[in-house]
Chains A and B, each alone.
Chain A
Amino acid sequence: MHSKQEAKPRLVWIQGVTCNANIHSFLNLPTLPSLLSKLNMLYHPSLECSHTLQEITQLEIACDVLIFEGTYDPLLKRNDVLIADVVKHFAQEAKYVVALGSCASFGGIFKASAPKRNSGLIFNEKESFGPLLESQKKVINLSGCPVHPEWLGYTLNMIINKKEILLDELHRPLELYSHLAHHGCTRNEYFEWKVDAKEFGLKEGCLFYEQGCRAPMTHASCNKILWNEVSSKTRAGTPCFGCTEPDFPRNNLFSTQTNMSIPQDVPLEIPKRAYLTMTGFAKTFSIKRLEGKLIDYKTTR
């Protein structure tokens, strides 16, 4: 049933320096039609909405939820209006500001477009910085490059249902970011017994030791709530690049930095010495099932 338009949260979706991927990720949300029916979309760059960019940049109306996608560049203009003024105007009355994607959360990829002035809305990487510091209580960071559609779906539904969203110290919802990308990875057993993937293109082996996988250090629920409902990077043999963390993008993304063949970064909050002892011990095991192929299509006929 249609509820009254006035009762629905008014939403404005504004873009900073962006590639549009958060929009295209969001369009994959299976429940998109029902979610949109619960919102009063004042402005969106692609979806149906009641106002044009020209109208919205007059800065005369207000919204309840502001979604900001892309890196914040104080000098960027849309329709000849400084994005700094647009953000300030809509954030003032909004109950919630969603910093959508790692660019809006921490600076992300496009921080490097103008490293000295670009940032997220309330963080520059992990340091407090940005245009909305004074109203940071209303800012929810949904990091990820891009954001997972269900993460935005969750956040908007929580707002619509007037439920409190618990946040971590980087303003990310705990229900989405207290997990690590590692949780639910189909390669977990290889990680437990320290069996590394020999190379790319194999379903067997863990990508943490050679291929640069950041999943054990990355707050994200990619392997709990699957991408496009079907998979994740690590399930497809691609290392996690840590795209939800403030230091994304790091360098040398396809290889693990090691000191004397030991990973430089160990899983989150695990004492390095204990981790190394355990690894050394596990490596002495010979587990035939984990060393061979799970299915050998060539000889199993």
Chain B
Amino acid sequence: MTTKQLVEQIEGEASVYFDTDDEKVVFSTIAFPHFRGMENILKGKNALDALVITPRVCGICGHAHLMACVRAIEDAYKNAGESVVLSKKAENIREFTVVMEIIQNHLKWIYFVLLPELYKRSDSKQTSYPLKGAFGASLATKAIALLGGQWPHSSYMVPGGITCDPTYIEILQAQGFLEELIAFFEKESLGVALDDFLAYETCKEFAQGDADIAKIEAYLLQLGMHEKGLAYDRFIVLGKHQFSRQSKIKQTRFFSVDSKYVSTVESFSPNEKTFARNALYKDEYYEVGSLSRMMSLQIPLIKNIHRRYKDSAYSRVMARVYEVAHLMKHVKELLSEVRIDENSFNKPAPIETLTASGVGIVEAPRGPLIHKIDIEKGMIKNYEIITPTQWNIGSSNKNKLTPVQKTMQGHSKTDALFIFRTFDVCSVCTTH
């Protein structure tokens, strides 16, 4: 028998259809019902307008879309033999704001999705405070706005650099917000100093203190999530950044990657029309996102977690939590390296002279985000977007399960739905 479960309070909604046997999930399919047609909307527009339109794919990770878009246009310039020179300052500031967006995303996920769900599942008397996440996130977005003008929906990255021209005032203010954010995260979430947390070598150390991370870990173990929610133990990181390493990982073996092997196929969704396509690499499904990125860095703590619990729901959640701390430390350094006297912008050839194609890839909060653009005399001939949730939350037939389908198999529906959420699902991006 197939039963439908509407999943809400993700970014948008999804329908999950379960086939169960003796209360255990034997097969599941996923539908994302809301179509928007962003790629069609872009056709025929000036290529630079994509810098304004594509962030509007998503309210929580629009900045990642902006960066993927500007990288795609810059790649098109390069493919046309036109140089686009980015100053170190522009590169660092772009990276800074993109990372801050990931941090705000993860904080919201921890406090809006994860903790309330854990408390509900474990009959805890604890009250969850989602607004804690909103507070932390708002400190991160203030820092973005100092450089990008606003968040959400900034368009401050343009081919050749960034539109802002900050003084040390903005840089110091951004550092101030970051320091406040780190203090908040240490007090409310970690229960220990950031550097001490980052120096953990085994997951036994999570149990220190009574801050939120210790509670999260304890509840995950209590629910057996260290033994549930395993996918293929295959990971992929495609975006080029300083905070992770482009790679394909099978168990613990590393391979190089090239985005030309990425493809998409139609979803299998017999019960409801879906507008999502599944993403694959060399015809295989991979998990993307925080766990993959943290695996790519071979961090002792993450290696320890993976050795014990493989790619379980526990590992997926704790890697995301760890990534917040990792990124906070990274951006602190990034900002201190910004040299104010460098150019923000180096003007490229006029967009009207450009006829070429380009690909832009970034690591968005949930994993690799790919934008592909075909430009003819400055106008968009074709645009294609592949989002992270298309990798993790694909819906396929029984012969070749996607990561999320594999993770839910064999568990109760309640466990399966919790595992579903551990991927941090973005419905709006998926049905761009």
CA of A28 to CA of B131, assembled, Å:
10
Q: Which residues of A contact B347 (CB under 8 A)?
A: 199-200
Q: A27-B134, A145-B153, A232-B149 are in contact. Are A237 and B49 (CB under 8 A)?
A: no
CA of A110 to CA of B428, assembled, Å:
13
CA of A251 to CA of B42, assembled, Å:
11
Q: Which residue of A lies closest to B37 (CB)?
A: A113
CA of A298 to CA of B48, assembled, Å:
31
Pick the interface stretch among A13-21, A268-276, A281-289.
A13-21
Question: Shortest beta-carbon distance, A51 to chain B, in Å?
Answer: 11
Report yes or no: A201 in contact with B48, Cβ–Cβ below 8 A.
no
Question: Shortest beta-carbon distance, B399 to chain A, in Å?
Answer: 29
CA of A76 to CA of B431, assembled, Å:
14
CA of A295 to CA of B170, assembled, Å:
15
Report yes or no: A28 in contact with B343, Cβ–Cβ below 8 A.
no
In the complex, which of the residues A229, A232, A251 contacts B49, with contact meaning CB atoms closer than 8 Å?
Answer: A251
B 33-77 to A, binary, CB cutoff 8 A, 1 in contact else 0: 111110011000110110111001111101000000000000000
Q: Which of A26-69 contact B (CB under 8 A)?
A: 27-28, 30, 32-33, 36, 45-48, 52-54
Is B233 an interface position by the 8 A CB rule?
A: no
Report yes or no: A236 in contact with B164, Cβ–Cβ below 8 A.
yes
Q: A24-B60, A45-B9, A298-B341 are in contact. Are A238 and B34 (CB under 8 A)?
A: no
CA of A33 to CA of B138, assembled, Å:
13
In the complex, which of the residues B6, B57, B108, B162 contacts A27, with contact meaning CB atoms closer than 8 Å?
Answer: B108
In the complex, which of the residues A201, A228, A251 contacts B145, with contact meaning CB atoms closer than 8 Å?
Answer: A228
Q: Which residue of B lies closest to A57 (CB)?
A: B6
In the complex, which of the residues A46, A109, A231, A297 contacts B341, with contact meaning CB atoms closer than 8 Å?
Answer: A297
B 394-432 to A, binary, CB cutoff 8 A, 1 in contact else 0: 000000000000000000000000000000000010000
Report yes or no: B345 in contact with A25, Cβ–Cβ below 8 A.
no
Q: Which residues of A contact B138 (CB under 8 A)?
A: 27-28, 30, 228
CA of A109 to CA of B40, assembled, Å:
12
CA of A146 to CA of B149, assembled, Å:
13
B 171-214 to A, binary, CB cutoff 8 A, 1 in contact else 0: 00100000000000000000000000000000000000000000
CA of A15 to CA of B33, assembled, Å:
13
Is A112 an interface position by the 8 A CB rule?
A: yes
Question: Shortest beta-carbon distance, A222 to chain B, in Å?
Answer: 8
Is A167 an interface position by the 8 A CB rule?
A: no
In the complex, which of the residues A22, A53, A253 contacts B48, with contact meaning CB atoms closer than 8 Å?
Answer: A253
Question: Shortest beta-carbon distance, B7 to chain A, in Å?
Answer: 10
Question: Shortest beta-carbon distance, A132 to chain B, in Å?
Answer: 21
Q: A52-B8, A200-B345 are in contact. Are A109 and B45 (CB under 8 A)?
A: no
Report yes or no: B130 in contact with A201, Cβ–Cβ below 8 A.
no
In the complex, which of the residues A20, A200, A298 contacts B58, with contact meaning CB atoms closer than 8 Å?
Answer: A20
- Among B33, B58, B152, the one with the most A-chain Cβ atoms within 10 Å of its Cβ is B152
Q: Which residues of A contact B149 (CB under 8 A)?
A: 227, 231-238
CA of A272 to CA of B45, assembled, Å:
28
Q: Which residues of B contact A86 (CB under 8 A)?
A: none
Is A178 an interface position by the 8 A CB rule?
A: no
Q: Which residues of A contact B153 (CB under 8 A)?
A: 21, 145-146
Report yes or no: A237 in contact with B152, Cβ–Cβ below 8 A.
no
In the complex, which of the residues B11, B12, B45, B344 contacts A200, with contact meaning CB atoms closer than 8 Å?
Answer: B344
Q: Which residues of A contact B154 (CB under 8 A)?
A: 233, 236, 238
Is B112 an interface position by the 8 A CB rule?
A: yes
Q: Which residues of A contact B161 (CB under 8 A)?
A: 200-201
Q: Which residues of B contact A18 (CB under 8 A)?
A: 59, 428
What are 20 A-B pairs with beta-carbon distances under 8 A?
A20-B58, A21-B62, A113-B35, A145-B153, A199-B347, A200-B347, A227-B150, A228-B141, A228-B150, A230-B145, A231-B145, A232-B150, A233-B155, A236-B147, A238-B155, A251-B49, A252-B48, A254-B48, A254-B158, A298-B341
User: Lowest 10 A-B CB distances belong to which pairs?
Assistant: A201-B345, A201-B344, A21-B59, A236-B149, A20-B59, A237-B163, A227-B150, A228-B145, A297-B341, A203-B165
